[in-house]
């Protein structure tokens, strides 16, 4: 099926992966003067941004916006198109930002198109061509043709580290001791939900929901449930040790899961997304990944039935959509010049070479009903150092998003989409600065980080002044 002849395409910056981190990188690199190609194996860009989950990591538990720039532009674009629901406090520990995933699809493609980013979809990258410690080209297979994409800078936004690892980078996968990986989840949505009834049920039965986990809220569980009710938006986190879920799991009516995370996706459609299905598999193995879909679809259909029959507010709700793909939380973490550590995130540490910020709680989903969650100290934020984006041993590549250089615990917070977009903006901006030099010996370690930080701040990024 694949021709031996190779077709060469050149640009300044090649990005592998069109999820949240790749989108942030592509927009930043293109707007800072680079010609940019995104390569993705899938049929569209957007990743989990278009799956119905809320964007986390934008606003800390203490309530400060800790990312800006491209993240805010995407939200503004959703707002302009009528698909922005906005910030919501879950009165557990998070401030999330909810959007309509269908509108987000239009916002993402519109911004990329206007920035002049080229897309190479349906295209699988399976190798690199190296010249000493530099990547000379990314080898891509697409429908019987092979391409060599040549560029000054390569950005690995693949989630799995495919590009950096092909170029010789080392990595950890899941738990370094046990190999345990966070489960896969297929998101789905339901329309026709009565939000007031749902929130009233939570207010009157708060033992079913995760509430008040961030102590800085200063409210009892019942007060949190009341505040959630008054907020009036369907952001509910049902927990497996509450009677509602516990009983259904024990009966075998509901699959084993730590949660049913409900988020509004459209006020007009009275639609919410549900984050609950679970399948443990290594997503870097295509065979096991393919096996996940039938089981997750079955769980989703069953969970929709459970919702209709047992969750007040869902009585007349109708299944409306699956996410475009099975969601992958965790695979490989590439080893970089610095590995963001457990303490860095837990303590909310700041770094001189901080180029983005994270603020999501430590959040490791375990198999079955297990779930390890801890808010960042004082509900604050931590810095993502520039060095965590540079894979060891490679001169001209960045690694961003859920495969950037971090411990497992640090990954569990920094993997969320607000942080991925911000990391992407930083890497794309630095890549454009490097590409402009036109110097084939330039190493990304030589980027002037204080200048990079100034450029990022001038383009809206939040790098200083947060708790």
Ligand X SMILES: Cc1cc2nc3c(=O)[nH]c(=O)nc-3n(C[C@H](O)[C@H](O)[C@H](O)COP(=O)(O)OP(=O)(O)OC[C@H]3O[C@@H](n4cnc5c(N)ncnc54)[C@H](O)[C@@H]3O)c2cc1C
* Contact positions vs ligand X (CB under 6 A): 16-22, 39-42, 47-48, 53-57, 124-125, 157-160, 162, 185, 187, 275, 327-329, 401-402, 415-418, 420
CA pseudo-torsion sign 325, 331, 334, 339: positive
- All residues at 6 or more sequence positions from 60 whose CB lies less than 8 Å from its CB, including other chains: 66, 95, 359, 376, 379, 380, 381, 466, 467
Nearer to ligand X, 16 or 376 (CB): 16
Half-sphere exposure of 289 (CA within 13 A, CB side): 14
Give least dist CB 327 to ligand X, A: 3
Give least dist CB 48 to ligand X, A: 3
Nearer to ligand X, 156 or 353 (CB): 156
Give least dist CB 313 to ligand X, A: 20
Nearer to ligand X, 93 or 275 (CB): 275
Give least dist CB 316 to ligand X, A: 26
Give least dist CB 259 to ligand X, A: 10
Nearer to ligand X, 32 or 265 (CB): 265
Nearer to ligand X, 226 or 412 (CB): 412
CA pseudo-torsion sign 189, 191, 232, 260: negative
Give least dist CB 6 to ligand X, A: 16
Residues 133/369, Cβ–Cβ less than 8 Å: no
Burial of 225 (0-12, 13-18, 19+ CB in 10 A): buried
Give least dist CB 121 to ligand X, A: 9
Nearer to ligand X, 199 or 416 (CB): 416
Query: How distant, in Å, are the alpha carbons of 60, 166, 393 from that of 88?
Result: 12, 40, 42
Cβ-count burial 42-60 (b if 16+ within 10 Å, e if not): bebbbbbbbbbbbbbbbbb
Give least dist CB 45 to ligand X, A: 7
**Alpha-carbon gap, residue 308 to 244, rounded angstroms:** 13
**Alpha-carbon gap, residue 266 to 269, rounded angstroms:** 5
Give least dist CB 450 to ligand X, A: 26
Nearer to ligand X, 108 or 226 (CB): 108
Residue with tokens 């920094």: 414
Report the 3 state secondary structure along 43-96: CCCCHHHHCCCCEEEEECCCCCECCCCHHHHHHHHHHHCCCEEEEEECCCCCEE
Q: Nearest-CA neighbor of 102 among 220, 189, 180, 32?
A: 189
CA pseudo-torsion sign 352, 356, 361, 363: negative
Give least dist CB 349 to ligand X, A: 21
Nearer to ligand X, 153 or 187 (CB): 187
Q: What is the dihedral of CA 85, 87, 88, 92, to 10 degrees?
A: 150
Nearer to ligand X, 20 or 199 (CB): 20
Give least dist CB 222 to ligand X, A: 25
Please name every residue paired with 189 in a beta bridge, in sequence order, or none if there are none. 273, 321
Burial of 5 (0-12, 13-18, 19+ CB in 10 A): exposed
Give least dist CB 138 to ligand X, A: 9
Nearer to ligand X, 24 or 354 (CB): 24
Half-sphere exposure of 358 (CA within 13 A, CB side): 35
Nearer to ligand X, 47 or 380 (CB): 47
**Alpha-carbon gap, residue 39 to 388, rounded angstroms:** 22
Nearer to ligand X, 44 or 115 (CB): 44
**Alpha-carbon gap, residue 434 to 442, rounded angstroms:** 7
Burial of 40 (0-12, 13-18, 19+ CB in 10 A): buried
């Amino acid at each position: 099926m694949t021709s031996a002849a190779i077709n060469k395409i050149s640009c300044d910056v090649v990005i592998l992966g069109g999820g949240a981190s790749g989108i942030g990188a592509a927009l930043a690199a293109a707007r800072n003067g680079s010609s940019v190609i995104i390569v993705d194996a899938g049929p569209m860009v957007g990743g989990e941004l278009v799956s119905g989950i809320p964007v986390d990591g934008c606003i800390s538990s203490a309530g400060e916006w800790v990312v800006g720039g491209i993240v805010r532009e995407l939200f503004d674009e959703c707002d302009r198109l009528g698909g922005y629901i906005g910030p919501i406090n879950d009165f557990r520990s998070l401030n999330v930002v909810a959007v309509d995933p269908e509108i987000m699809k239009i916002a993402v493609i519109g911004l990329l198109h206007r920035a002049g980013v080229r897309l190479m979809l349906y295209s699988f990258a399976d190798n690199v061509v190296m010249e000493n410690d530099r990547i000379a080209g990314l080898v891509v297979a697409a429908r019987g043709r092979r391409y060599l994409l040549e560029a000054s800078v390569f950005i690995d936004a693949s989630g799995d580290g495919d590009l950096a690892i092909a170029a010789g980078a080392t990595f950890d996968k899941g738990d370094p001791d046990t190999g345990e990986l966070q489960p896969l989840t297929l998101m789905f949505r339901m329309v026709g939900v009565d939000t007031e009834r749902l929130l009233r049920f939570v207010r009157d039965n708060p033992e079913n929901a995760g509430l008040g986990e961030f102590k800085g809220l200063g409210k009892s569980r019942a007060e949190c449930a009341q505040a959630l009710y008054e907020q009036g938006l369907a952001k509910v986190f049902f927990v497996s040790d509450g009677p509602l879920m516990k009983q259904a799991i024990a009966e075998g009516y509901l699959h084993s899961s730590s949660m049913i995370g409900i988020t509004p996706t459209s006020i007009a459609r009275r639609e919410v997304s549900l984050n609950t299905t679970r399948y443990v598999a290594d997503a870097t193995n295509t065979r096991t990944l393919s096996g996940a879909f039938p089981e997750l679809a079955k769980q989703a259909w069953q969970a929709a039935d459970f919702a209709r029959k047992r969750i007040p507010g869902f009585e007349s709700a109708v299944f409306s959509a699956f996410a475009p793909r099975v969601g992958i939380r965790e695979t490989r973490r590439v080893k970089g010049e610095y590995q963001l550590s457990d303490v860095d995130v837990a303590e909310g540490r700041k770094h001189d070479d901080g180029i983005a910020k994270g603020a999501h709680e430590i959040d490791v989903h375990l198999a079955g009903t297990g779930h390890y969650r801890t808010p960042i100290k004082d509900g604050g934020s931590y810095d993502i150092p520039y060095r965590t984006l540079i894979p060891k041993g490679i001169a001209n590549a960045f690694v961003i998003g859920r495969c950037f250089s971090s411990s497992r615990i640090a990954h569990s917070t920094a993997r969320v989409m607000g942080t991925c977009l911000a990391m992407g903006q930083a890497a794309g901006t630095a890549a454009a600065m490097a590409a402009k030099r036109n110097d084939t010996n330039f190493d990304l370690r030589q980027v002037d980080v204080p200048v990079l930080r100034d450029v990022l701040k001038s383009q809206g990024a939040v790098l200083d002044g947060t708790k």
